[in-house]
Amino acid sequence: MNVVHGTDHTQTPPSSEEVLIQVEHLQKYFPLKKKKIFGPPEVVKAVDDISFKIYKGETLGLVGESGCGKSTLGRNLLRLQEPTGGKVFLRDVNFTDLSKKELRSYRKHVQMIYQDPFGSLNPRFTVGQVIGEMLTIHKLATGDARTKKIKELLALVGLDPDRIDNYPHEFSGGQRQRIGIARSLALDPEFIVADEPVSALDVSVQSQIINLLIRLKKELGLTLLFIAHGLNVVRHISDRVGVMYLGKLVELSGTDDLFDHPAHPYTAVLLSTVPDADPAARRERIVLKGEVPSPINPPSGCRFRTRCPLATEKCAELLPELEEIRPGHHVACHYPLEEGESLKERISKNDKGAVNL
Amino acid sequence: MEPLLKVENLVTGYRTEQGLVKAVDNISFEVNKGETVCIVGESGSGKSVTSLSIMRLVDFENGEIIDGSIHFQDKDLASLSNEDMRSIRGSKISMIFQEPMTALNPVFTIGKQIMETFYFHRSYSGKKAKQRAIELLELVGINQPEERLKQYPHELSGGMRQRVMIAIALGCEPDLLIADEPTTALDVTIEAQILELLKTIKQEMEMSILLITHDIGVAAEVSDRIIVMYAGKIVEVAPTIELFSQTLHPYTKGLLESVPKMSGERGVELPSIEGTLPGIHSMPIGCRFAPRCHYKTEKCVQVEPPLENHYGHLAACWHAEEVRNGTLEKGETT
Q: How confident is the model at residue A203 (pLDDT cuts 50, 70, 90)?
A: confident
Q: Does A206 score more than 50 pLDDT?
A: yes
CA–CA dist A287, A282 (Å, integer): 14
pLDDT in tens, A82-120: 999 999 999 889 988 999 888 888 888 999 999 888 888
Residue ranges covered by each domain of chain A:
1-357
Q: Does residue B53 have a pLDDT over 80?
A: yes
The residue among B187, B246, B288 with the most chain A CBs within 10 A of its CB, best to mutate, is B187
pLDDT at A13: 46
What per-residue confidence (pLDDT) applies to A211?
93
ipTM: 0.80
Instruction: Tally the C-alpha atoms within 13 A of residue A18's C-alpha that lie toward its C-beta.
Output: 10
For residue range B215-265, what is the model confidence (pLDDT) as tens digits? 888 999 899 999 999 999 999 999 999 999 999 999 999 999 888 888 888
pLDDT at A354: 59
Q: pLDDT of A139-152, one tens digit each?
A: 888 889 999 999 99
Shortest Cα distance, chain A CAs vs residue B271, angstroms: 7
List, as ranges, residues 54-73 from A with C-beta within 8 Å of B: 65-66
pTM greater than 0.95 (yes/no): no
Predicted local confidence at residue A11, as pLDDT = 40
Confidence label for A127 from pLDDT (cuts 50, 70 and 90) = very high
Q: What are phi and psi of B218, to 5 degrees?
A: -60, -45
HSE (side-chain half, CA atoms, 13 Å) at B24:
30
Mean pLDDT in residue range A188-199: 92
Angle at CA of residue A244, ends A227 and A269, nearest 5°: 105
Indicate whether B12 pLDDT > 50.
yes
- pLDDT score of A50: 95
pLDDT of residue A310: 92
Contacting residues of B for A274, CB less than 8 Å apart = 188, 217, 262
**B23 alpha carbon, distance to own chain's centre:** 15
Shortest Cα distance from A22 to chain B (angstroms)? 24
Residues of A in contact with B46 (CB under 8 A): none
What's the whole-number mean pLDDT along residues B40-54? 91
> Does the beta-carbon distance from A278 to B160 stay under 8 Å?
no
**Averaged pLDDT, B115-132:** 89
What distance in Å separates residue B299's CA from the closest CA in chain A?
25
Q: For strand B75-76 and strand B93-96, is the pairing parallel, antiparallel, or unpaired?
A: unpaired
Q: What is the pLDDT of residue A283?
A: 65
**What CA–CA distance (Å, rounded) separates A180 from A113?**
6
Mean pLDDT of chain A: 87
Residues of A in contact with B271 (CB under 8 A): 207
Per-residue confidence at A356, pLDDT binned at 50, 70, 90? very low
Question: Do A243 and A250 form a contact (C-beta atoms < 8 A)?
Answer: yes
Judge: A275–B157 Cβ closer than 8 Å, yes or no.
no
Contact B221 A275 (CB under 8 A): yes
Confidence of residue B281 (pLDDT cuts 50, 70, 90): confident
Q: What is the pLDDT of residues A215-236, one digit of tens each?
A: 999 999 999 999 988 899 999 9
Edge-to-edge strands of the sheet including A19-31?
A43-55, A19-31, A85-90, A93-94
> Is residue B244 less than 8 Å (CB to CB) from chain A?
yes
Shortest distance between the Cα of B264 and any Cα of chain A, in A, equals 8
Measured between alpha carbons, how far is residue A326 from residues A17, A213, A231, A333, A336 in Å? Answer: 18, 30, 22, 13, 11
Task: Determine how many CB atoms are found less than 10 A away from the CB of residue A65.
Answer: 20
Instruction: Output the pLDDT for position A268.
Output: 93
Q: What is the DSSP string of B159-222?
A: HHHHHHHHHHHHTT--SEEEEESTTTTS-HHHHHHHHHHHHHHHHHHT-EEEEEES-HHHHHHH
Contacts of A232 in chain B (CB under 8 A): 217, 259-262
CA atoms in the 13 A half-sphere facing the CB of A199: 21
> Which among B216, B262, B269 has the least Cβ separation from residue A235?
B262
Give the closest-approach CA distance of B186 to chain A in angstroms.
9
Question: CATH classification of A1-357 is 3.40.50.300, yes or no?
Answer: yes
Alpha-carbon distance of B84 to B70, in angstroms, equals 14
Q: What confidence score (pLDDT) does residue A209 get?
A: 92
